[in-house]
């Protein structure tokens, strides 16, 4: 049987380690300085975006609170422009994220908030874009041209740039960021190892592709990771995949498991006990197929357990996201869908 041609999406996922390496070399100096321009004083942050870029915002927002001790919210661009009032101080920073820099809802959000005199920053893959020209501060995510409808490497670059902002804020506060920078320097090799050891991921994709009722569970930063995994499966396989926080899933949503179902659980050190307890209840009451993506080595709660080895949260976020991208891409191949040009979807492509 003739093998299928490698999709653009597969190629772009495979480029993520090199994208991360390039960003590391561009924005982090040999003496651990972050080469970004930011306001000297930031009282609060609001991140505005759409689609996969919004999931980047939702992943990053709690990291700003946890690591930089700065209040941070995230909002959908389309909802932002409908709001009549926004919280703004003289030291607020509004961050806008878009791969193309031409996302209409996000551009409308920038124009609306700039009328209030707020400081604006963009993360975009397009240096000559409208967004780039509108914002006061600019970060080029520099993932190269992304052609596949399903964003993968561009999203990876956006999350990386969001973390760089956090590290820059910490350094401006006089904190030692060398440990975090060492983690970011090792990220490229970490992602490469996950891509190279993909047999269990392919096995998981074969299993998930047999189901139409798919739930992806995660906590805190991993809930938007779960949402992004669900979005990738929707875009590439046309399946109605839902993502939930672990605890919230148990409040009524769990009833969907009365249908033949599969559950994908994203688990790290912080939610391991909580997640396993809920998975035990789920298995006892509904007995669905369960796949675990976990950075905790002794987790055996799933029928398939994919171990993304790391004790560093910042790496585990990227590792779990990459794993879900690979599963979605393999599922599309199995289900004979074209992941690069899903029906009814278009994309603004800029480099």
Q: What is the CATH number of the domain that holds 108?
A: 3.40.50.10490
Residues 6+ positions from 272 with CB-CB distance below 8 Å: 294, 296, 299
Angle of CA points 288, 233, 209, to nearest 5°: 50
- Rounded Cα gap, residues 223 and 55, in angstroms: 9
Domain stop point among 189, 209, 232: 189
For the chain, what is the domain count?
2
User: Do 45 and 184 belong together in one domain?
Assistant: yes
pLDDT at residue 4, as a whole number: 65
User: Do 97 and 133 belong together in one domain?
Assistant: yes
User: Do 179 and 279 belong together in one domain?
Assistant: no
Q: Find out whether 265 and 275 touch, Cβ atoms under 8 Å.
A: yes
Tokens of 27: 């924005």
Provide the residue range defining the domain that includes 31. 8-189
Does 266 reside within a domain?
A: yes
pLDDT tens, residue order, the chain (351 aa) = 344 678 999 999 999 999 999 999 999 999 999 999 999 999 999 999 999 999 999 999 999 999 999 999 999 999 998 998 999 999 999 999 999 999 999 999 999 999 999 999 999 999 989 999 999 999 999 999 999 888 999 999 999 999 999 999 999 999 999 999 999 999 999 999 999 988 999 999 999 999 999 999 999 899 999 999 999 999 999 999 999 999 999 999 999 999 999 999 999 999 999 999 999 999 999 999 999 999 999 898 999 999 999 999 999 999 999 999 999 999 999 999 988 777 766 655 443
Domain stop point among 157, 189, 221: 189
Q: Find out whether 130 and 154 touch, Cβ atoms under 8 Å.
A: no
User: Do 37 and 161 belong together in one domain?
Assistant: yes
User: Do 164 and 272 belong together in one domain?
Assistant: no
User: Do 41 and 146 belong together in one domain?
Assistant: yes
Of the candidates 154, 149, 152, the one whose C-alpha atom is nearest the C-alpha of residue 126 is 154
Residues 6+ positions from 162 with CB-CB distance below 8 Å: 47, 56, 57, 59, 60, 63, 95, 97, 123
Does 351 reside within a domain?
A: no
pLDDT at residue 344, as a whole number: 65
């Amino acid at each position: 049987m003739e093998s299928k041609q490698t999709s653009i999406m597969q190629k772009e996922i495979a480029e993520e380690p090199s994208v991360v390496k390039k960003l590391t070399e561009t924005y982090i100096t040999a003496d651990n300085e972050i080469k970004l321009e930011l306001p000297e004083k930031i009282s609060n942050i609001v991140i505005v975006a759409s689609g996969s870029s919004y999931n980047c915002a939702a992943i990053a927002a709690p990291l700003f609170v946890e690591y930089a001790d700065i209040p941070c919210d995230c909002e959908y661009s389309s909802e932002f422009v409908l709001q009549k009032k926004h919280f703004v101080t003289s030291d607020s920073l509004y961050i806008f994220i878009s791969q193309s820099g031409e996302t209409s809802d996000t551009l409308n959000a920038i124009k609306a908030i700039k009328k209030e005199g707020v400081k604006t920053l963009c993360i975009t893959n397009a240096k000559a874009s409208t967004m780039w020209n509108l914002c006061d501060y600019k970060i080029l995510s520099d993932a190269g041209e992304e052609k596949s409808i399903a964003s993968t490497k561009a999203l990876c670059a956006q999350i990386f740039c969001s973390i760089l902002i956090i590290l820059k804020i910490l350094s401006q506060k006089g904190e030692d960021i060398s440990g975090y920078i060492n983690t970011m320097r090792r990220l490229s090799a970490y992602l490469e190892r996950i891509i190279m050891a993909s047999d269990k991921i392919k096995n998981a994709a074969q299993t998930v592709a047999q189901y139409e009722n798919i739930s992806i569970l995660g906590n805190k930063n991993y809930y938007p990771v779960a949402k992004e995994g669900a979005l990738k499966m929707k875009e590439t396989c046309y399946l109605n995949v839902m993502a939930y926080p672990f605890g919230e899933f148990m409040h009524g949503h769990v009833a969907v498991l009365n249908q033949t179902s599969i559950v994908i659980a994203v688990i790290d050190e912080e939610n391991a006990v909580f997640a396993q307890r809920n998975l035990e209840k789920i298995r006892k009451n509904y007995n669905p197929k369960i796949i675990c993506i976990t950075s905790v080595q002794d987790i055996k709660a799933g029928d398939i357990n994919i171990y993304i080895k790391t004790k560093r949260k910042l790496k585990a976020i990227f590792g779990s996201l990459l794993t879900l991208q690979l599963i979605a891409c393999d599922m599309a191949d199995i289900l004979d869908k074209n992941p690069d040009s899903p029906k009814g979807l278009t994309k603004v492509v800029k480099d």
